[in-house]
Amino acid sequence: MGTIEERIASLGYDLPTASAPVANYVSTVRVETAGLVFTSGHVPRNPDGSFITGRLGKDMSTEAGYEAAKNVAISILSSIKTEIGELDQVERVVKVLCMVNSTPEFTEHPSVANGASDLMVEIFGDKGRHARSAVGMASLPANVPVEIEMIIQAR
Q: pTM for the full model?
A: 0.91
How long is the chain? Answer: 155
Give the whole-angstrom CA distance, residue 70 versus residue 153.
Answer: 20
pLDDT tens digit at each of 155 positions of the chain? 679 999 999 999 988 888 888 777 788 888 888 899 999 999 999 999 999 999 999 999 999 999 999 999 999 999 999 999 999 999 999 999 999 999 999 999 999 999 999 999 999 999 999 999 999 999 999 999 999 999 999 99
What is the 3-state secondary structure of 35-87? Answer: CEEEECCECCECCCCCECCCCECCCECHHHHHHHHHHHHHHHHHHHHHHHCCH
